[in-house]
Amino acid sequence: MVTFSIRLLIGAVVAGTLAISCRSASALIVSDASGIAAINTTAPADDPGWNNALTGFSGIYLGNQWVLTANHVVNPNARPTVANLPGGSYRIIPNSFRTLTNPGSFGGIGLTANSDLLMFRIDTETNTGLKPEQQNPNTKPITIGSAQPAVGAELLMIGNGSTRALAGEDTVNFEFHWNDSWVQQANPNLATKHGYFHTASTGGNTWGKNRVADDAVIQDGNADGNNIVVQLPGGTLLITLATQWDRARNNSGAAIPGSTATQFEAQAAPGDSGGAVFTKNGSNWELVGVMAAIFLDSGQSIAQTVYGNRTVFSDLTNPHYRAQLENLRADNNYSIAGDVNLDGVVSGSVVNGTPTGDLAAFVSGWNNQQGAGDILSWKKGDLNQDGKTDFADFAILRGQLGGSVTAAQLSSLVASASPAANAVPEPNSIAIAAGAGIAWWYLRRKRQRAL
């Protein structure tokens, strides 16, 4: 395996203004000869997860409040606080960010400890209190692929990157054209390179298609299977697969014999990092990657997308990545232990007989019961996720608060909040001790699964 440095990072800042006259279309650079500005900006007829795709920055909602994106999309010093989906706006839970690790080595190459894959958790919708799958019934259950897609397998990609610009002088393919020196040509027959300019702004989600390429399109054939280990700016290494953007039509608009281009052939552009890559396994869609970076030709500007460019995407079918994804997706620990109100810290005390912070949220949810624990029961104090808020959960909260709140105080607080419904007997010290033991065993078990 040979490690290659990416020349250009998806999501890199485009400096300056494009001095061209153009019409804009939406993100992902999608090959289309219709001359229509907005292409593939609504869900495809065979939809793998359009309503799971983030709209503010590229990412994909996996279910159970987990979102997957590329790590380099998110500034570690200024984490985003909101994730937007077609169905609503969702607050990102502080301290829920998890960077997936790399295996120690791959194909004989020692890898960086962390990969470029990032997951984080979201709260329920701001206004309705509903989860994404409750808020929007078109939100799909996402399956992570278990088998690497073969060379030539068709892919469907969804991204939120830069917008395409259509050349007004080309009324056949609506493309731009350049010679070998990257001088723009009005006559496509005088050009050797064809494609599009794109603007510096994003245009909302767009979908397009491509195929898994042989890794030789990027490296010299020294490979472990069809994977490519790429190095992103900052030094992070990632196990990836690649696509190549192929031209479907010649300068006259006729189909090119032997072209492997798909309908709506797509290439990633700045801003598409973290966007989903799906493939079909029989009749079922599976998520096999998120876009990570692009390879450009020598001398090519970041403002150009040219046939022959390549997109690389993380290989989520890699067993090391997939195991982490599935473990996190199954995890019902929504935040740090005791953080009932999901503000990223554990706090609470009794001030003039009134509870504050997480203690207040716990008292409000006392004695709540439902069939199974989830984010809704967590926000009512169900910290051990057994579907009910009781003294076992209080043991967790009390421990995180350093024992500053007693069981007697809890009994008084819940009785005062709703005397008829919430009056509870004070548990004896043995019961509290047993509850604490069960609760802290649960916490130790959950921590073993954290990354």
Residue 75 has pLDDT above 90, yes or no: no
pLDDT score recorded for residue 34: 75
Which tokens in the block code for residue 373?
């624990």
Phi/psi-derived region of residue 300, left when phi > 0, alpha when psi is between -120 and 50, beta in every other case: beta
Higher-pLDDT residue of 5 and 307 is 307
Residue 195 has pLDDT above 70, yes or no: yes
- pLDDT tens figures, 334-389: 999 999 999 999 999 999 999 999 999 999 999 999 999 999 999 999 999 999 99
Distance of CA 315 to the CA centre of its chain: 14
What are the structural domains, with CATH classification, of the chain? 4-329 (2.40.10.10), 350-447 (no CATH)
pLDDT score recorded for residue 107: 84
Higher-pLDDT residue of 220 and 58 is 58
Q: pLDDT tier at 22 (50, 70, 90 boundaries)?
A: very low
pLDDT score recorded for residue 417: 81
Distance of CA 326 to the CA centre of its chain: 14
3-state secondary structure of 424: coil
Please state, for a pLDDT cut of 90, what percent of the chain lies above it: 70
- pLDDT tens figures, 316-336: 999 999 999 999 999 989 999
Q: Which of 56, 88, 57 is nearest to 70 (CA)?
A: 57
Task: Output DSSP code: residue 439.
Answer: H
Q: Which residues have a Cβ under 8 Å from the Cβ of 445 and sit 6 or more positions away?
A: none
* Cα–Cα separations (whole angstroms), residue 47 to 53, 62, 88, 124, 133: 12, 15, 19, 24, 15
Q: Against a cut of 0.75, is the pTM above it?
A: yes
Q: Give the HSE-up count for residue 27: Cα atoms under 13 Å, Cβ half-sphere.
A: 28
- pLDDT tens figures, 399-417: 999 999 999 999 999 998 8
d(CA 448, CA 382): 20
61 and 48 Cβ atoms separated by less than 8 Å: no
* Cα–Cα separations (whole angstroms), residue 29 to 82, 83, 143, 404: 26, 24, 26, 58
d(CA 265, CA 306): 12
Provide the β-strand partners of residue 164: 198
Residue 436 has pLDDT above 50, yes or no: no
